[in-house]
Amino acid sequence: MKQAQIVVDAAGGAGGGAGRLKTELDAFLAERAAPIRVVGRDRQLTASWLIRREVVAGDVPVVAALNNVSFAWRGIERRVLVHNALHFLAPAEGHLLTVQPRSLRAQIPVVRRLLHRADVIAVPCSAMAQRVVDRVPAVRDRLVVLANPVSPVGPRVPTGEVSTILVPVVPSPFKNVVAELRVLLAALDRRQQPTRVRMTAYPHELPDDLARHPRLDLLGQLTHHELSEHWRRTTAVFFPCQVESFGYPLAEARVYGLPVLAPDTAQSREVAGSALTPYRLADVDSLAEALDGIHRTVVPEPDAFERGAYFTRLLGLDRGRPGHQADRSPAAEARAVRP
């Protein structure tokens, strides 16, 4: 095997969007031989690891961090993926930090400060790019918008007679999913149709009245493979969350060809594309009207978020190839696709 030219730090969360990204990375590495070495896969993102990884990385031309925190000094070229909106909340959203653990709050100044050490900063959508620019304006020219990779697991399977709406969101203090779930159930009750709602949550994570609602099936926390089976068999998707760096459910709906009920925001339109079925938050009438569209035809776009192109750009594997400007600086590359 060739000596590694790129070291990727994959330390940090194994669940949610971070875990999904690592699944895509593993598939990418299995598909092709590339001079890439992954470190930190099973490690927590701690201060001690941030110091140790600089030594572990060794003397390589390119280092890339998938966990929001740029390498500080290792590598001729430093790349970082920034995909946690909580690190870049707007002043009006500051109250959301009060319900976050102290460890996350302590990460914020470190994440922002080390952005200045990065040559290329990848973010998954334009809204996230704007969050970063608003909080750390000096790194504007280093930003690259790269939508996260989303690969479908097989084609959709015809659903039964009863329609189902998938809510692939784990309840969290900063997500507005509980309040909007009440709106969804109220809108469904008004329609008086036998639609089921399936949510990736446990009963203890919801108020008792919601957990016992006759329309609601609670699936608990599922692996990516287990959840993929629900994606293939559902009628539509419900994703009301606003504080998101990307919104995987928006992209999944687009890939599988499913209507996704979500707020009508620029981020929803960018990620979901034609799969978006918009509604106004906290508005039962608006959501009841949107529910009329859950059986509409949405053309699947299985290659909309193709992982090969994503990791090729994220890790700079296309630099120096025929047709690519080999002498192009990382800053120039970022400016070429900045929001």
| Interatomic CA distance for residues 104 and 97, integer angstroms | 9
Q: 33 falls in which pLDDT band (50, 70, 90)?
A: confident
How far CA 41 is from CA of 2, 10, 12, 13, 335, in Å, comes to 21, 5, 8, 9, 31
Q: Is the pTM of this model over 0.75?
A: yes
Q: What is the pLDDT of residues 169-211, one digit of tens each?
A: 999 888 999 999 999 999 999 988 889 999 999 999 999 999 9
**Concatenated DSSP letters for 192-226?**
T---EEEES--GGGS-HHHHT-TTEEE--S--HHH
Q: What confidence score (pLDDT) does residue 195 get?
A: 94
Q: Report CA Rg, the chain.
A: 21
How far CA 146 is from CA of 12, 71, 100, 143, 338, in Å, comes to 20, 20, 27, 10, 10
User: Which tokens hold the place of 64?
Assistant: 């890339």
Q: 66-75, 92-101, 155-164, 296-305: which has the minimum mean pLDDT?
A: 155-164
| Interatomic CA distance for residues 245 and 87, integer angstroms | 10
Whether 329 shows a pLDDT value over 80: the answer reads: no
Q: What is the DSSP letter of 100?
A: S
Q: 324 falls in which pLDDT band (50, 70, 90)?
A: very low
Whether 161 shows a pLDDT value over 80: the answer reads: no
Q: 320 falls in which pLDDT band (50, 70, 90)?
A: low
Q: What confidence score (pLDDT) does residue 159 get?
A: 73
Other CB atoms within a 10 A radius of the CB of residue 220 amount to 12
Q: What is the pLDDT of residues 231-248, one digit of tens each?
A: 999 999 999 999 999 999
Cβ contacts of residue 136 below 8 Å, gap of 6+?
Answer: 88, 112, 115, 116
User: Which tokens hold the place of 221?
Assistant: 């926390």
Task: Answer for the pair 254, 275: CB distance below 8 angstroms, yes or no.
Answer: yes
User: SS3 sequence, 225-262?
Assistant: HHHHHHHHHCCEEECCCCCCCCCHHHHHHHHHCCCEEE
Q: What is the pLDDT of residues 244-288, one digit of tens each?
A: 999 999 999 999 999 999 999 999 999 999 999 999 999 999 999
User: Which tokens hold the place of 77?
Assistant: 């070229």
Least Cα distance to 298 among 261, 243, 267, 339 occurs for 261
Residue with tokens 């296309």: 318
Q: What confidence score (pLDDT) does residue 88 get?
A: 98
- The proportion of the chain whose per-residue pLDDT surpasses 70, expressed as a percent, equals 94
User: Which tokens hold the place of 46?
Assistant: 């701690």
**Concatenated DSSP letters for 35-95?**
SEEEE-TT----HHHHHHHHHHT-S-SEEEESSS---SS-SSEEEEE---GGGG--GGGGG
Task: Answer for the pair 319, 6: CB distance below 8 angstroms, yes or no.
Answer: no
Q: What confidence score (pLDDT) does residue 338 get?
A: 40
How far CA 45 is from CA of 11, 65, 153, 298, in Å, comes to 6, 11, 29, 39
Q: What confidence score (pLDDT) does residue 155 get?
A: 86
Task: Answer for the pair 71, 78: CB distance below 8 angstroms, yes or no.
Answer: yes
Whether 328 shows a pLDDT value over 70: the answer reads: no
CA dihedral (91, 106, 138, 82) positive or negative: negative
Amino acid making up residue 139: V
Q: What confidence score (pLDDT) does residue 85 get?
A: 96
Q: 39-48, 118-127, 151-160, 184-193: which has the minimum mean pLDDT?
A: 151-160
Q: What confidence score (pLDDT) does residue 198 get?
A: 97
Whether 326 shows a pLDDT value over 70: the answer reads: no
- The proportion of the chain whose per-residue pLDDT surpasses 90, expressed as a percent, equals 79
